[in-house]
Structures are given as structure tokens and as C-alpha cells.
A and B are shown apart, each in its own frame.
Chain A
């Protein structure tokens, strides 16, 4: 059974600071997805990482994937209040014919002035 673990689950950080969210998964896969969810809203796709060593950046967020370590990171640079949300990573194992996404529990990020 594929398990996806995120840490930390809760993160309070000051504006202007940097931090990293970690996502570990238990089964071989080279496909990982990051989503953002605002309170009461649906999920917004942030990044799609489809190979070992993939790195993608959008604004103050950068995501990377290390398939050998079964680890993805979401790095936040110079946080601003607008980044406050819950961030989910998700994995599929398309190589095994399974396209369902298995999600972590999410990291609730609060950026405080």
C-alpha cells in the first residue's frame, strides 16, 4: 500500500523567512504533484514533477523530486501572507497502471507579519 507522509503538518512562519516542506512516499514512483487548498475551497494544482531530479519554480515556491530517496520538497522563499494555505503532495504509480492520486495529510501553513 502506497503511503505518503508530509512534515511538518503545521507550520507557522514569519513573513520574509524561508522554509521547506517535506513529502516522503513509500513505493517507487517518478510522478509527484503539489496542490494548494485555501479554507473552504478546492485544490489548485501547483507543480507536476514527472522525473527524477525534476525542479519547478513559480514565484516564491520551488518544488523538487528525488525518486531514489522517494522524497519531494516544497521550498518557500521570503514568505508572504498570501501563501497561507494548506499544501498537499500526492503520488501516483502509473507504472503499475494506477492513476489514482494518493495524498499526504497536508501541511497547514500560516504566514504571520
Chain B
């Protein structure tokens, strides 16, 4: 079956601009996660959705970052007033059941802020 998909695959923007990154999880997966990965590092947690609600947003670095999942499927990560330090690969993952938390990752969106 289809895996997790993310669009766009690459996004280049200028400092101060607004960006939206989209994630389409595996069909039927109720849990959705956003992570970001900097070069040479492991992924770092941003936010976790169970259904439509954000169950844990403790990883969001500041209030410029926001994410939604209005219908419990597709999610959008929104970054306002982008900064050069936001440049990273943003990864989305989904899992069928948080009690067996095997998370399946999408290909990522590489964000570059100039």
C-alpha cells in the first residue's frame, strides 16, 4: 500500500516568509508525528497528533511553528516569519496504534531559508 507522502519535496524561501508543509499519512493510521532533522543529527520531535487533536506539542521550538490536522488525516505544518535556523529536513511519520509505536516515515521536505 501507499506509504507516507510529503509535499513539497524541496522548498526554498526567503527569511521572513511563511511556509506550509503537507503530510499525507498511511491510510487508517490515527497517530501522526512531525520531526525535523538537521545535517548529521537524528530526527527531533516537534508535534504528535492523535486523530484531529495535538496530543503533544512540546517539541515545537516557538510560536512561529504551528500544525493542524483538521480531519484526522492530512496534516499541515506551518512556519511563520521563517529564519535561517529553520533550514532542515522536516519529516512526517504515522503509526497505526501508539501502543505499538512503530512509526513509518515519509520522504521529508527539505526546507532552505535564504
Q: Which residue of A lies closest to B106 (CB)?
A: A42
Chain B residues with CB under 8 Å of A43's CB are 43, 91, 93, 105
Is A54 part of the contact surface with B, judged by Cβ < 8 Å?
no
Measured between beta carbons, the chain A residues less than 8 angstroms from B43 are 43, 88, 101, 103
In the assembled complex, the Cα of A102 lies from the Cα of B98 at a distance in Å of 15
Shortest distance from the beta carbon of A46 to any chain B beta carbon, whole Å = 10
Q: Bound complex: CA of A98 vs CA of B48, how far in Å?
A: 9
The answer to whether B45 and A100 touch across the interface, beta carbons within 8 angstroms, is: yes
The count of residues in chain A whose C-beta lies closer than 8 Å to any C-beta of chain B is 24
- A99's contact among B31, B40, B106, B107, by CB below 8 Å, is which? B31
Confirm or deny: A45 has a beta carbon within 8 angstroms of a beta carbon on chain B: yes
Contact with A along B101-114 (1 / 0, CB 8 A): 11111111000000
Interface residues of A in 1-58 (CB under 8 A from B): 4, 31, 33, 35, 41-45, 48, 50
Chain B's closest residue to A104 (CB) is B42
Instruction: Check B101 against A31 for contact (C-beta < 8 Å).
Output: yes
Known contacts A100-B33, A103-B44, A104-B42; is-contact A33 B102 (Cβ 8 Å):
yes
Distance in angstroms from B76 CB to nearest chain A CB is 19
Q: How many Å lie between the Cα of A45 and that of B4 in the bound state?
A: 13
- Report B-chain residues with C-beta under 8 Å of the C-beta of A99: 31, 33, 48, 55-56, 95, 98, 101
Known A-B contacts: A35-B105, A42-B106. Give 18 more (CB < 8 A): A41-B107, A43-B93, A43-B105, A48-B101, A48-B102, A92-B101, A94-B101, A99-B31, A99-B33, A99-B55, A100-B58, A103-B42, A103-B44, A105-B41, A105-B42, A106-B40, A106-B41, A106-B42
Answer whether residue A79 sits at the interface, using C-beta atoms and an 8 A cutoff.
no
Q: Give the distance in Å from the alpha carbon of A105 to the alpha carbon of B102 in the complex.
A: 19
Does A90 reach chain B (CB closer than 8 Å)?
yes
User: What CA separation (Å) do A50 and B99 show in the bound complex?
Assistant: 10
A43 to B55, CA, bound (A): 23
Residues in B neighbouring A35, C-beta threshold 8 A: 105
Which of chain B's residues 11-53 have a Cβ closer than 8 Å to chain A? 31, 33, 35, 40-45, 48
